[in-house]
């Protein structure tokens, strides 16, 4: 037997479990979402293979689901809230990560590990658990935040019940949760900056701020681009904190596109086609925004 064919066989054999799982739990749902967006699906669930086959050969409805999605005023509220959350969260998360990583880089190795680990640990915990803790912290009567404000003579607001404040409360939760991954990447990137570069700039008389602007920031461009793109994708997909803390309310003040998709697909029977259409619109917007970010930020960055 040809040794190269033998190696190829074992390579595919070891890869096959992962490929099967990828196909079943990622590729297949994506294909079904595309199918749902152009079909009329009015049943809550498929009861058997016969129902699924009848659905596959059912009438094609064209762009009707997209038209229904765009005619729904909740879609535009969700779109506005999603862009608002993303526009605030991405620069906030990246900026906090950069500042914390810069401070951590000035510490010794052991303290640096402790510092970075402390900020990275929240990312290990379940997002559901963290959202439940924050919901308790923001309780209007017995929440820790309002109790602390009462101690200094300030009446605490209804963090999650006020339609003008609820979305900013979700942003606050995201800001506390998000920087850990960025701190880890930025700290590692700063640690790879050659000492000779900083020494050369120092000999030219540059102060710490000038060295940070002219040496550190340009070197961190690839890391910054990666974090901006990833934080944008994560922000567009915000769901867990909203599901646990507000369920899109009060009113629709914290309704985002992903929660709107969930609401259409699982809370409102018979609107799965519209939910699939909104999901495809979201994917298209994410792809467009990501492409624009690469075009604007890549400049002299090489990969």
- Per-residue pLDDT at 58: 66
* Residue 42 domain-assigned (yes or no): no
Query: Confidence class of residue 60 from pLDDT cuts 50, 70 and 90?
Result: confident
Can you tell me which residue has the tokens 């915000």? Answer: 238
Domain containing 245: what range?
71-126+166-297
Query: Confidence class of residue 48 from pLDDT cuts 50, 70 and 90?
Result: low
- Does the pLDDT value for residue 301 go beyond 50? no
Nearest to 186 by CA among 229, 221, 140, 145: 221
pTM of the full structure: 0.87
- Does the pLDDT value for residue 217 go beyond 80? yes
Domains in the chain, number: 1
* Residue 81 domain-assigned (yes or no): yes
Nearest to 29 by CA among 294, 250, 279: 279
| Highest mean pLDDT of the ranges 6-15, 100-109, 194-203, 224-233 | 224-233
CATH number at residue 191: 1.10.3720.10
The number of CA neighbours under 13 Å toward the Cβ of 3 is: 0
- Per-residue pLDDT at 256: 95
**CB neighbours of residue 286 within 10 Å:** 18
Q: Are 254 and 170 in contact (CB under 8 A)?
A: yes
* Residue 41 domain-assigned (yes or no): no
Structure tokens at 36: 């749902």
Question: Alpha-carbon distance 303 to 301, whole Å?
Answer: 7
Question: Alpha-carbon distance 110 to 113, whole Å?
Answer: 5
- Does the pLDDT value for residue 190 go beyond 60? yes
- Per-residue pLDDT at 211: 76
284: left (phi over 0), alpha (psi -120 to 50) or beta: alpha
- Per-residue pLDDT at 56: 65
- Per-residue pLDDT at 168: 94
- The pLDDT > 70 percentage for the chain reads 88
- Does the pLDDT value for residue 51 go beyond 80? no
- Per-residue pLDDT at 44: 45
* Residue 144 domain-assigned (yes or no): no
- Per-residue pLDDT at 102: 87
Average pLDDT, stretch 269-293? Answer: 90
* Residue 138 domain-assigned (yes or no): no
* Residue 132 domain-assigned (yes or no): no
Average pLDDT, stretch 100-116? Answer: 84
Cα torsion 30, 33, 38, 43: sign: positive
260 to each of 176, 242, 267, 277, how far by Cα in Å?
A: 24, 11, 10, 11
- Per-residue pLDDT at 135: 93
* Residue 141 domain-assigned (yes or no): no
* Residue 140 domain-assigned (yes or no): no
Query: Could you read off the pLDDT of 133-172 as tens digits, one per residue?
Result: 999 999 988 889 999 999 998 888 999 999 999 999 999 8
Query: Confidence class of residue 248 from pLDDT cuts 50, 70 and 90?
Result: very high
More reliable by pLDDT, 42 or 274 = 274
């Amino acid at each position: 037997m040809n040794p190269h064919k033998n190696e190829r066989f074992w390579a595919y054999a070891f890869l096959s479990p992962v490929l099967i799982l990828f196909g079943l739990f990622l590729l297949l749902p994506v294909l079904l979402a595309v199918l749902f967006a152009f079909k009329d699906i009015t049943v809550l669930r498929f009861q058997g293979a016969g129902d699924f086959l009848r659905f596959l050969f059912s009438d094609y409805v064209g762009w009707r689901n997209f038209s229904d999605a765009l005619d729904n005023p909740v879609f535009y509220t969700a779109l506005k809230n999603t862009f608002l959350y993303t526009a605030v969260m991405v620069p906030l998360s990246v900026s906090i990560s950069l500042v914390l990583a810069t401070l951590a880089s000035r510490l010794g190795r052991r303290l640096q590990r402790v510092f970075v680990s402390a900020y990275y640990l929240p990312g290990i915990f379940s997002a559901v658990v963290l959202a439940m803790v924050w919901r308790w912290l923001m309780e209007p009567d017995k929440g820790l935040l309002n109790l602390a404000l009462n101690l200094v003579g300030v009446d605490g607001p209804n963090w999650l019940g006020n339609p003008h404040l609820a979305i900013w409360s979700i942003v606050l939760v995201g800001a506390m949760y998000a920087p850990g991954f960025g701190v880890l990447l930025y700290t590692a990137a700063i640690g790879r900056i050659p000492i000779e570069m900083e020494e050369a700039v120092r000999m030219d008389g540059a102060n710490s701020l000038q060295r940070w602007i002219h040496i550190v920031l340009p070197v961190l461009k690839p890391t910054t681009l990666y974090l901006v793109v990833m934080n944008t994708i994560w922000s567009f997909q915000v769901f867990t904190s909203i599901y646990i803390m507000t369920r899109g309310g009060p009113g629709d003040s914290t309704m985002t596109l992903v929660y709107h998709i969930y609401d259409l697909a699982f809370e409102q029977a018979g609107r799965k086609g519209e939910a699939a259409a909104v999901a495809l619109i979201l994917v298209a917007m994410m792809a467009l925004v990501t492409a624009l970010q690469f075009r604007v930020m890549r400049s002299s960055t090489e990969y």
